[in-house]
Structure 1
């Protein structure tokens, strides 16, 4: 399969929309390969979690370099990290792996809350990728909802296999309204979980717009909308209402941690990032005054430089 499929954005847009609305099968067929991303050589593969869910994984960069495992947010996909995975400097020095979370992208999309509500299934997904792909002391980079996956992993499996963690505009607790931005309601039934085709599409568009202080260009936005539509309504609903009791785990963490947060975030407000950084002993807080919910996309040069420095420091800390 070519690394540069013609008309990728147009073709993916129709396919993603059909899958997200339940017009195509919910699970990727066994013979299907993870989607190839445009503009960079990489190795696609599937990893199977203990409960049988097949996860699409994508490996970029230097196979001998320090490992980075990228975890995307709610209704997103591995392609969210395009500006990291295709960065020549990062690819030269690091082994980068990004996955489509269960229910997202090209990963399987089983129906039923048992596949989405328990923290253990998310923890086991992360461990399965680390184990099956042989990632040696990876740095986890968790964006938005993936902060909860990091918490699930630490709760179930501890931090012994990790070199460090980068929380990126990430959720690490629930309950304090000060941690929520003015557009966090777009995650609910009025937008991202709206029933009906028109409302479902419109809600996804509004949520994506709210993620950026500086809007993506039309072609990039079209791609983002396409892979967001791959997350069906039942998956989005399954991710909601989960407990997030990670505070004691974070307090006990003895690991290099970088907390990155865009100060114009309309989904998770800056106090969320400040809470994470102040709760984890020794954590570093890096604020991006001009970025919204996705500083890795809006200011990739700074983000990639800080990530590279952090990974080198974390890998040398033991």
Structure 2
């Protein structure tokens, strides 16, 4: 069961089209419809509109009566990043799983202007809007990489009362210490993900994706990843860059279950940031993956899915 009911070849064609859209913003604004067919995919797509008018594509899988999990992806990624969780039969039987294309990504709206990306409030309101409009009851938030900031924005603006727990996955919870930055973190800047020109944009995205994995995805999976990364235009990537990322006070104030997951071979954010996050949150659990890079949920899905299921059940029982 794949998140989007298209072949991987079709996804590559979509990615190529999205590259053109990134160069022509008026075209990008039209690429906002989720897939029309849901029968084969086994999910329910729905748009949620944030208070500033940005339409967010959401995708629901699994057991509608189960405890809710809300998956938030990283920089230039998409809901499809969580494919190995969303199509896991055991998770689908037990949990109501919702994944978002964050604003500027995937099939969500891609407005131009820093006002849509720089303020923490817009990200906080996106998360709250999805929780409210989909009727998610005390979901566990799962934030990968850049989404650690999105989780921090939500907590700072709206508090933690509406969520049962948080899973930080190789996540950015603060950037104050250079020890937190891996040798390839520079790929998020002008030398790769923000490289100018078509060739630089493509090559930089490839370099960044390669750096995310200690064990490389097979060619078909990598093609799919490249396709949905190309859906995030250059101006969106630039809008995400340079935002404040100091959530230490937010972490210290948390009084709910927190699981910190991190690959020890991560070349983007080092395990030191995971140790910081786990130490800052009272009672947080740290789970390190010795053989994984920046995406342990993809590289070691069996272990990750098992630990996530256990954590969600414990978090729901604790409150």
RMSD: 1.7
User: 1:184 maps to which residue?
Assistant: 185
- Measure the CA separation in 1 of the matches of 2:59 and 2:246: 30
Q: How does 1:35-114 map to 2 (within 5 A)?
A: 40-114=41-115
**Structure 1 residue 16 corresponds to structure 2 residue 28:** no
Whether the aligned pair in 2 keeps the contact of 1:56 and 1:99 (CA below 8 Å) is yes
Match of 2:313 in 1: 312
What SS does the corresponding residue of 1:25 show, helix, strand or coil? helix
- Tell me: CA distance 1:300–1:261, structure 2 relative to 1, closer, same or farther (3 Å): same
Q: How far does the alpha carbon of each residue in 1:133-157 deviate from its partner, in whole angstroms, 9 at most, with x for none?
A: 0000000000000000000000000
Report the Cα offset of residue 23 of structure 1. 7.0
> Residue by residue, what CA displacement relative to the aligned partner does 1:2-57 show, whole Å, maximum 9, x if unpaired?
96435433432322332334376122367x33576896400001000000000000
Distance 2:241 2:264 in 1: 24
What is aligned with 2:304? 303
CA distance in 2, matches of 1:267, 1:37: 35
Structure 2 CA distance for aligned equivalents of residues 238 and 196 of structure 1: 17
Structure 1 unaligned spans of 5+: none
Q: Any conservation in 1 of the 2:16–2:230 contact (CA below 8 Å)?
A: no
Deviations 1:286-315 (A, max 9, x none): 000000000000000000000000000000
Tell me if structure 2 keeps the 8 A contact 1:39–1:86.
Answer: no
- CA pair 187-115 structure 1, distance change in 2 beyond 3 A: same
Cross-structure match for 2:230? 229
Alpha-carbon separation, structure 2, partners of 1:12 and 1:238: 23
**Corresponding residue pairs, total:** 316
Give the TM-score normalised by structure 1: 0.96
Rounded Cα–Cα distance in structure 2 between residues aligned with 1:312 and 1:160: 17
User: How is 1:1-318 mapped onto 2 (pairs within 5 angstroms)?
Assistant: 4-6=5-7, 7-22=9-24, 25-28=27-30, 32-34=33-35, 40-318=41-319
Measure the CA separation in 2 of the matches of 1:296 and 1:218.
18
